[in-house]
Every structure is written in structure tokens, then in C-alpha cells.
């Protein structure tokens, strides 16, 4: 089971700490990440700044702590958006079959063949780089995998005997879909969702690296993006937030893997 | 060890000689000079296209009536002499007799008249030739420009890349306004300058070759000029370092400039950009909200630490700029700066009626048009927070989006860079003239309006006495620095980079927007 998976358990603890930091950070470390508090390019550990300062003399630790909120919130919100879209599309397609499935799957394929980063860049460039828009842009381009997983689960489960039994006893379509089939289709969707959070964080980092971000909000990717031209002068300004993204995404993946092992009946140890 | 130290001493001595512009006796001829362009070229015909990227090939392909030395003195070029009438209303150009276009046809006064007409109709800098009503051509080598009013700015407008003489028999085959899109702007170009076009592949290179019948005997010294197009500054830096490129201009990134300065074989100099005159500033919309109060604008100037911008952001590569005119210009008069003073700033804001309420006096927005100036914008946000002004940074998806915000006055503050382009009439007036509050970027986007400033500019535009003109611009600069429609922070640190094989690198006033017929290679 999950608790037996040491890597996943460890990752879960680290993730918990990061979440705690995101939630409580601004109270523990109230320095505004946009304030110039010291001389520019003061290296980590010198002059009392644990992670040093950037090219304007802003505290990197503050940027990291305050940025964790934005990165994680965007990760969670964008993953939710893609789950909602993906599950709805996949459930309808897998349940109704026929022309509904045809239509929805063609739409899914349409979104699947679009280069995702490019498409989200277009959305952000067109509608402005605000946090909700960035979240939506990431959600809109990454729901296709969820839709396909949901549909395949629905296709399998809808033919099972207990679904037949419910149908025979007069359950409505919506009841069949959301009360009977969906709960049984959830395990792979949950795993997919966990991985989605990680990739959404990466996505946000990519967009802000390219400058497509709300410049008034600090996020890890934004810190990397704005410091990248100083990589030769002060490499820590880029590597530290880079490590933060790396660790977070890795932990999310490990937890996702652990969930997969725990929820997959075929791998379940007896 | 001893030998290598000697070598270093020798190379230092040599570069010192070069930096002072002392030319060793004689020069070598021949060779291929490999240079670089920092972005793609839309149009090689500098008579219809402005900008520094067109300026470099444009000034090699096409000659102008005059050229300027590094002391801002006009020198004969296509015009061997000229005469301005006492009332300032006619300017007579006497052309050199042996000048030919690249197809062998003689360059005549007809071509001068035609070129003026084309530039007037197509070039974005309308103020250059607006007072020129007609051009008379009494004989093949005399052109008389008739002006509606005295126009001292005409002198600089007849040099550099601003007045390219193009052949009437090639470009005059359609409507005057069609020259803007003439197919021979970019291929089979027939020019009047020291080099002729061999090949232009956009995104790759422009290759030029010596024009043997050039009207100055023995010039140009080089056989070929290759202009490689490399848009990435870091890639250009590597190419300078490993000697792939002999020379390049308009390098403006502080980190790259400082890195290249450390390379022994390279000379990196900010000299030679006075007439291009690029200056950076914080634009403030004087027509909207709190910024319409001059006390608020001054408070902002007192809160923004120029010293920080110079040291931390420009890393010592830029010069101070205080008045709207580039510091290298003969008209520049340095103004008292606004040394950072947060108390004074707070007092001014209180006086203007913006007390601190809930930790904030007001909320403003700041825009930027290209990613390179994002640090400046972020700095202004952080600096103004110290005087309790909340600043929201607004990103624009692309340059046109930003340009539209500027043109429609939909901004509080913005970072901006504007070029002087020689005479103040051409590149300075546009920012402060109340009749130039237009929808386009780089007009008077701040909606600044001051009757005295308008009057001073109008007088200076027609004043032929240089001392009187200087006096007018002195008062103009004092008012601008006091009323702050824009807060001048620094020059854009354009630098020319060349290795020690290149002699006579262009260090006049026009950067590389000037003929490089005297450049030679020592190899």
C-alpha cells in the first residue's frame, strides 16, 4: 500500500512542507519580494540573506516563499480546470457513444495535435497575462489526456454487471454516469490529476520564463525568467528557484506514482 | 614571460593610439570587412526607410550631399560646396562633377530634386524637408532648395542616412509614393555610394562590393563588406570574441559591453552616436490623473535613484542624460538633476494633495514596450513604493500593443527610448510639441503642452544664428527638466565594437549610418 512506498511517503512529507510554506510563508517571512532590501547580487548567506539578492537587490528567499503560493495555486487550479473539462468530455463520450463520442473525440484530437505551449502562449497573449487567464490557458491545453483516460474507463465499466443491474433497476443516465460509473473510474483519474499538477507548475514556469506572466505577481518561473540574463554574473538567482520547481514537481510525480501503485488493483499486494 | 608582457604593453599602446583617432601614415587597400547587423532589414533604401538597421547598408549604397566629422562640422561629400542665402531661404548645392550611379549614369541635380521629393513623400521624419517647397535645377551640377522659412536643421538632414540620393531613372518609373515598396529597394539596387550591392538575403546577410567608379578617387579602401545578420546579442558577442566578425555597432546590453571590454583584441567604444542620439526616459502622462500635477512628477523624480539605474542596471556603460537632447549634441546643456530625496518627494506629494491613506498615496501603472527594459520598470515600482505609491506593472503582449497604449494615452508611466536623429527639430521637438499629440508612438505621447516651449521650438527651428539658437534650446531644456513630461535618466549605451585589424572605424556622429569608405583592414 501507499505507506509502504518509502519514496512516495518521503515525497509526500516534502510536499506537505512546501504546502505549509506556501500557506504560512507570508506570516513567517513577511519581506515583500518586490522590495529592494539590499545591494544587488549579494550572494547567498552573505549579509544575512539566506538565498542572496537579485539584480535589483530584492530578497530571493522572499521571492521563493511568496512565489511558492502562486506556483502551487496555479498548479492546483489549472489541474482542476483540466480535470473538470476532461472528465466531462470523457464521461459524455464514453457513456453515450455514437455521434456524441465521435464529435467529442474529434474535438479532443483537435486539441491534442495543437502544440500546447504555443497554444497557451496565444491565449495569454490575446487575453492578457493575468493569473486567472494563465490558469485557464494551462487548463484548456492540458485536459485531453484526462478525457481519454476517463472515456476508456467509462467504456470498460459501462458494460460491467453492476452497471447493467443499476440500469435495469431504472437509474437515470446522470445517476449512472456520476453515481455508478464515475466513482469506479476515479483511481486512474486521480493519478492523472496528481501528475497534472506537476506539469501545470512546469507550464506556468515556462510561460513566465518567456515573460508571459503577470509582472506584479511573483512566481518561481517569473524569478527564473527575469534573472536569466544574469546567469553568468549570479547563477544562484536562477538555480535556486529552478531547484524549487524541480523538487516540487519531482515530489508530485513520486506521490502520483505511489497513488498509482496503491490504487491499481492489479499491483495491489494481498 | 617577459616577451608576453612586452606584447601586452605594445597592444595597449597601439589601442591607445587608435582610440585617439590618430591615423598611422598610409593605409592598406583591399580585403573583406566582416560586420554585423543586429536585426533583419526591411528595406535597403534609406530614402524611404528610417532606422539604424537600414542606415548602415543604406549609407554604403547611397551617398548624401554632405557628411559630418566628429566635431559636428559638415564636410563635402556628394556636394563639393554649398551656400545658404543670407535670408536662409535658399540653399544651393554644388555637386561633384564626376559622380556616377552604380549603373554608370551620372548623378545630376535632377536626381537631387527627385530624391527630396521621394523622401518628403515616404520618409517618416516629415520635419526634415517640410520647409523645402521646391528644388530648382539650373544646371546638371547645381541644385537649389527653396525653403518656405529658414531651416537650419536641413544641414544635418542632408547627411548620414537621412538624405540618400537615389537615381530618378530607376526609381522614378511610377508614382512617388510607390518608391516605398519599389522592387529594386532590395534587389538590383542602383546606388550612389561607395559600395554596390552583391547579394541581400534577409535573415542571413547583405554583401557589398567596392564601386570602382566612386566619385572620391581611391576610395573606398575595402574590396568587400559583408554584413551578417545575427539577431542574438550573445551570439554576436561570441563572434566578436573569436574574430569571426571584425566590427559591429549599436551593441547596447551592459553585460555584453562589459564582457567585450575585457577582450584584449577588441576596442569597445561609446563614441560616435551623438547624432543618432538615443536616450532612455521615464515617460509620464501629463494629461491624466495625479501625474498631470507637476509636483507629483517631481516627487517621482526625487524617488527614482538615477545612480542606481546607472550603476546596477546600466553597469556603468551609459552616460547621464538630463534634458531631452543627447549629451553629445552641441545644443546640450546639462541640467540640475533630481538627486534621490525621499523626504522632499513625500513633502511634494503631500502638497499635491496625496496624503498616505492605509499605507498608500495613489496607484499608478507603468508599461514597457520590449523585454530589455523590464528591469527598469521593476525598479521604478520598487522605488516608488518607498514613497507609498503603488505601481502596477503592465506587460504588453507585443510591441504594437504597447505602441497603441502610448498613442492613445492609455498609460500613467512607461519606459521609453527615443532617438534625437541629428538636429533637435528632427528628433527632439516631436516629444514636446503640443501640436504633435498624435496617435502614433514617439509623438508627444505624454500630451505635454506648454506655450513657451512651443514658442521656443518654433523660434529655434528658424533661427540661423547658431549662438542664438543655442540660447533658445538652453531655455527649452531648463523648462523641460523643470516640468518633467519625461524624466531623463540615461543615454542608451550604444557601443561600437571592432578588433585591432580594423582601422578608421566610424566614430563620427552617425555611428555606422555613415559611409565607411575610409575604413581599412590591417592584415
pTM: 0.82
**Does residue B465 or residue A215 have the better pLDDT?**
B465
pLDDT of residue B22: 41
**Which strand ranges, in their side-by-side order, compose the sheet holding B495-499?**
B195-201, B205-210, B224-229, B32-37, B247-251, B495-499, B266-269
pLDDT band of A1, cuts 50, 70, 90: low
Helix, strand and coil percent figures for chain B, each rounded to 5: 35, 20, 45
**Does residue A12 or residue A230 have the better pLDDT?**
A12
Number of residues written out for chain B: 523
Q: Which of B331, B444, B40 is nearest to B203 (CA)?
A: B40
B393: distance to nearest CA of chain A, Å?
6
CB nearest B255 (choices: A213, A226, A229): A229
The 10 Å Cβ neighbour count of residue A191 is 21
pLDDT band of A182, cuts 50, 70, 90: confident
Distance CA B439, CA B408 (A): 6
- Assign domain A7-24+52-267 to a CATH class: mainly alpha
Calculate mean pLDDT across residues A176-198: 86
B386 within 8 A of B249, measured Cβ to Cβ = no
CB nearest A215 (choices: B253, B395, B398): B395
Q: State the number of CA atoms in the 13 A half-sphere of A96 facing the CB.
A: 16
Tell me the per-residue pLDDT of A30-82, one tens digit each, with 9 for 90 and over: 888 887 777 777 777 777 777 788 878 888 888 888 888 888 888 899 999 99
* B394: closest chain A residue by CA: A215
pLDDT of residue B25: 56
Residues of A with CB under 8 A from a CB of B: 32, 34-36, 40, 55-58, 124-126, 128-129, 211-216, 226, 229-230, 232-233
Which of B241, B262, B310, B397 is the mutation pick for testing A, counting most A CBs within 10 A? B397
* A126: closest chain B residue by CA: B397
pLDDT of residue A268: 55
A23: distance to nearest CA of chain B, Å?
24
pLDDT band of A125, cuts 50, 70, 90: confident
DSSP letters spanning A199-262: HHHHHHHHHHHTT-S-TTS--HHHHHHHHGGGTTT-THHHHHHHHHHHHHHHHHHHHHHHHHHH
**A-contacting residues in B 232-261 (Cβ below 8 Å):** 253, 255
Which of A31, A34, A36, A234 is the mutation pick for testing B, counting most B CBs within 10 A? A36
Calculate mean pLDDT across residues A149-163: 89
pLDDT of residue B452: 96
pLDDT of residue B62: 96
pLDDT of residue A269: 53
pLDDT of residue A267: 61
Mean pLDDT of each 10-residue bin along chain B, 523 residues long: 42 41 67 95 93 94 94 94 94 95 96 96 93 95 96 94 95 92 94 96 95 94 96 92 95 92 95 94 94 96 93 91 93 92 95 93 94 90 93 87 92 95 94 91 93 96 94 96 95 96 93 94 89
Q: In this structure, what C-alpha cell is assigned to residue B243?
A: 574574430
Residues of chain A with pLDDT > 90: what percent?
15
DSSP letters spanning A123-156: HHHHH---HHHHHHHHHHHS-HHHHHHHHHHHHH
| Residues of chain A with C-beta less than 8 angstroms from the C-beta of B382 | 34-36, 56, 58
Q: Check A226 against B375: CB less than 8 A apart.
A: yes
B302 within 8 A of B340, measured Cβ to Cβ = yes
At B248, give phi and psi (nearest 5°): -150, 160
Amino acid at each position: 500500500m501507499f505507506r509502504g512506498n518509502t519514496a512516495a511517503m518521503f515525497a509526500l512529507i516534502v510536499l506537505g512542507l512546501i504546502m505549509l510554506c506556501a500557506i504560512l510563508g507570508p506570516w513567517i517571512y513577511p519581506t515583500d519580494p518586490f522590495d529592494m532590501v539590499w545591494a544587488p547580487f549579494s550572494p547567498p548567506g552573505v549579509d544575512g540573506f539566506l538565498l542572496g539578492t537579485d539584480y535589483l537587490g530584492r530578497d530571493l528567499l522572499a521571492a521563493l516563499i511568496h512565489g511558492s503560493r502562486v506556483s502551487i495555486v496555479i498548479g492546483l487550479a489549472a489541474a482542476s480546470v483540466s480535470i473538470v473539462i476532461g472528465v466531462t468530455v470523457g464521461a459524455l463520450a464514453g457513456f453515450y457513444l455514437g455521434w456524441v463520442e465521435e464529435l467529442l473525440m474529434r474535438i479532443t484530437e483537435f486539441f491534442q495535435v495543437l502544440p500546447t505551449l504555443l497554444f497557451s502562449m496565444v491565449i495569454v497573449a490575446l487575453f492578457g497575462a493575468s493569473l486567472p487567464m494563465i490558469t485557464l490557458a494551462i487548463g484548456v491545453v492540458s485536459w485531453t489526456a484526462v478525457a481519454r483516460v476517463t472515456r476508456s474507463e467509462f467504456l470498460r465499466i459501462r458494460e460491467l454487471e453492476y452497471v447493467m443491474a443499476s440500469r435495469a433497476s431504472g437509474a437515470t443516465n446522470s445517476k449512472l454516469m456520476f453515481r455508478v460509473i464515475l466513482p469506479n473510474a476515479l483511481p486512474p483519474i486521480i493519478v492523472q490529476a496528481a501528475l497534472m499538477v506537476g506539469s501545470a507548475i512546469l507550464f506556468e514556469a515556462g510561460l513566465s520564463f518567456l515573460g508571459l506572466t503577470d509582472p506584479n505577481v511573483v512566481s518561481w518561473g517569473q524569478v527564473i525568467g527575469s534573472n536569466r540574463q544574469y546567469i553568468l554574473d549570479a547563477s544562484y538567482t536562477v538555480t535556486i528557484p529552478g531547484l524549487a520547481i524541480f523538487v516540487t514537481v519531482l515530489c508530485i510525480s513520486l506521490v502520483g506514482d505511489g497513488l498509482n501503485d496503491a490504487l491499481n488493483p492489479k499491483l495491489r499486494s494481498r | 614571460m617577459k616577451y608576453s608582457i612586452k606584447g601586452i604593453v605594445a597592444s595597449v599602446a597601439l589601442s591607445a593610439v587608435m582610440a585617439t583617432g590618430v591615423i598611422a601614415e598610409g593605409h592598406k587597400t583591399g580585403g573583406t570587412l566582416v560586420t554585423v547587423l543586429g536585426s533583419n532589414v526591411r528595406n535597403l533604401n534609406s530614402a524611404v526607410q528610417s532606422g539604424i538597421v537600414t542606415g548602415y547598408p543604406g549609407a554604403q549604397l547611397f551617398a548624401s550631399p554632405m557628411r559630418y566629422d566628429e566635431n559636428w562640422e559638415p564636410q563635402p561629400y556628394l556636394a563639393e560646396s554649398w551656400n545658404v542665402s543670407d535670408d536662409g531661404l535658399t540653399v544651393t548645392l554644388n555637386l561633384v562633377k564626376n559622380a556616377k550611379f552604380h549603373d554608370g549614369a551620372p548623378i545630376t541635380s535632377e536626381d537631387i530634386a527627385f530624391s527630396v521629393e521621394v523622401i518628403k513623400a515616404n520618409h517618416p521624419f516629415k520635419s526634415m524637408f517640410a520647409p523645402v517647397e521646391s528644388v530648382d535645377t539650373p544646371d546638371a551640377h547645381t541644385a537649389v532648395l527653396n525653403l518656405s522659412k529658414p531651416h537650419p536643421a536641413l544641414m544635418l538632414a542632408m547627411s548620414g542616412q537621412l538624405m540618400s540620393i537615389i537615381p530618378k531613372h530607376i526609381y522614378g518609373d511610377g508614382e512617388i509614393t510607390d518608391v516605398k515598396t519599389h522592387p529594386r529597394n532590395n534587389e538590383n539596387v542602383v546606388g550612389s555610394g561607395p559600395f554596390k550591392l552583391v547579394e541581400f538575403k534577409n535573415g542571413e546577410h547583405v554583401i557589398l562590393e567596392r564601386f570602382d567608379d566612386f566619385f572620391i578617387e581611391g576610395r573606398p579602401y575595402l574590396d568587400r563588406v559583408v554584413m551578417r545578420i545575427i539577431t542574438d546579442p550573445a551570439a554576436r558577442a561570441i563572434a566578436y570574441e573569436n574574430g569571426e566578425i571584425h566590427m559591429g555597432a549599436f551593441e547596447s546590453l551592459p553585460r555584453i559591453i562589459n564582457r567585450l571590454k575585457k577582450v584584449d583584441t577588441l576596442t569597445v567604444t561609446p563614441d560616435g552616436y551623438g547624432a543618432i542620439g538615443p536616450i532612455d526616459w521615464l515617460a509620464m502622462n501629463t494629461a491624466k490623473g495625479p501625474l498631470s500635477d507637476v509636483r507629483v512628477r517631481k516627487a517621482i523624480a526625487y524617488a527614482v535613484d538615477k545612480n542606481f539605474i546607472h550603476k546596477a542596471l546600466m553597469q556603468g556603460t551609459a552616460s547621464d542624460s538630463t534634458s531631452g537632447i543627447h549629451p553629445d549634441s552641441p545644443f546640450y546643456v546639462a541640467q540640475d538633476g533630481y538627486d534621490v530625496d525621499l523626504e522632499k518627494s513625500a513633502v511634494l506629494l503631500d502638497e499635491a494633495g496625496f496624503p498616505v491613506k492605509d499605507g498608500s498615496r495613489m496607484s499608478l501603472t507603468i508599461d514597457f514596450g520590449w523585454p530589455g527594459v523590464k528591469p527598469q520598470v521593476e525598479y521604478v515600482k520598487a522605488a516608488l513604493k518607498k514613497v507609498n505609491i503603488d505601481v502596477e506593472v503592465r506587460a504588453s503582449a507585443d510591441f504594437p500593443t504597447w505602441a497603441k497604449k502610448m498613442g492613445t494615452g492609455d498609460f500613467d508611466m512607461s519606459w521609453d527610448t527615443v532617438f534625437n536623429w541629428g538636429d533637435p527639430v528632427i528628433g527632439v521637438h516631436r516629444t514636446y510639441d503640443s501640436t504633435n499629440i498624435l496617435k502614433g508612438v514617439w509623438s508627444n505621447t505624454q500630451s505635454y503642452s506648454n506655450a513657451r516651449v512651443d514658442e521656443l521650438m518654433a523660434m529655434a527651428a528658424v533661427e540661423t544664428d547658431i549662438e542664438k539658437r543655442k540660447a533658445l534650446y538652453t531655455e527649452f531644456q531648463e523648462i523641460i527638466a523643470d516640468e518633467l513630461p519625461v524624466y531623463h535618466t540615461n543615454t542608451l549605451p550604444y557601443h561600437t565594437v571592432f578588433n585591432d585589424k580594423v582601422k578608421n572605424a566610424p566614430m563620427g556622429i552617425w555611428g555606422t549610418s555613415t559611409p565607411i569608405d575610409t575604413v581599412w583592414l590591417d592584415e
